[in-house]
């Protein structure tokens, strides 16, 4: 059977559906097939690593995240995910280094701040944990405000009513 151009994309999408359905074993199998066609597919590599992490297959997960970093050393999510593995393995200094690198690469990556705050809390460094939680809150509030400004139909309709009312009052 010859592969079509769309087969790797369809395979990846099927793997993502299996992951979303919590069928991590199946998603690993499908992501592995995807990677056999394209070893540099960073999304498949990260996603397979996440499935391994869900199954507590930490060495496999760590390897996938590290290989993703080798493919793209500026990919913050790979550092964050590898940090989660390092934390589960008990290597807090490596976990902190990975969380720090993720934040350095993507200063608005709230999940990395949250993970680092959680680790600081476990290490009884409440001041640093509090700083990170404040950043998570700040980023969350800013993202929420941005979302509301761009997508809030009620607010848009309300502003139209106010504009109409002002126009009527000026007559």
8 pLDDT band (50/70/90 cuts)?
confident
Distance of CA 87 to the CA centre of its chain: 17
9 pLDDT band (50/70/90 cuts)?
confident
Q: Which of 53, 72, 91 is the last residue of a domain?
A: 72
- Average pLDDT of span 77-83: 97
Q: What is the pTM of this model?
A: 0.78
Q: Which of 38, 56, 72 is the last residue of a domain?
A: 72
Quick check: 162 pLDDT over 90? no
Residue 54, CB-side half-sphere exposure with 13 Å CA sphere: 17
Tell me the two tokens of residue 157: 């309709």
Contact 87, 119 (CB under 8 A): yes
Same domain flag for 91 and 127: yes
Residue with token string 């590599």: 45
Tens-place pLDDT, residues 85-122: 999 999 999 999 999 999 999 998 889 999 999 999 99
Q: Please, where are the H alpha helices in 21-109?
A: 24-37, 42-54, 58-71, 76-88, 92-105
The whole-number pLDDT of residue 1 equals 46
More confident residue, 166 or 33: 33
Q: Taking the CB of residue 136, how many other CB atoms lie within 10 A of it?
A: 18
Q: H/E element holding 8?
A: helix 7-20
The whole-number pLDDT of residue 5 equals 56
Same domain flag for 77 and 17: no
Residue 34's domain comprises: 1-72
Q: Which CATH number does the domain housing residue 99 bear?
A: 1.25.40.10
The whole-number pLDDT of residue 4 equals 53
When divided into structural domains, the chain yields a total of 2
Most confident of 123-132, 146-155, 158-167: 123-132
């Amino acid at each position: 059977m010859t592969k079509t151009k769309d087969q790797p994309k369809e395979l990846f999408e099927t793997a993502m559906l299996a992951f979303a359905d919590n069928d991590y074993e199946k998603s690993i199998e499908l992501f592995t097939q995807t990677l056999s066609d394209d070893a540099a597919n960073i999304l498949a590599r990260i996603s397979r690593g996440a499935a391994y992490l869900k199954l507590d297959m930490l060495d496999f997960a760590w390897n996938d995240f590290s290989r993703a970093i080798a493919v793209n050393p500026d990919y913050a999510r790979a550092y964050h995910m590898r940090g989660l593995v390092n934390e589960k393995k008990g290597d807090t200094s490596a976990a902190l280094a990975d969380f720090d690198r993720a934040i350095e690469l993507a200063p608005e990556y709230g999940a990395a701040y949250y993970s680092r705050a959680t680790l600081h809390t476990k290490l009884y460094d409440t001041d640093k944990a509090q700083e990170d939680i404040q950043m998570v809150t700040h980023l969350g509030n800013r993202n929420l405000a941005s979302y509301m400004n761009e997508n809030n139909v009620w607010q848009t309709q309300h502003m139209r009513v106010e504009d109409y009312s002002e126009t009527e009052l000026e007559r």
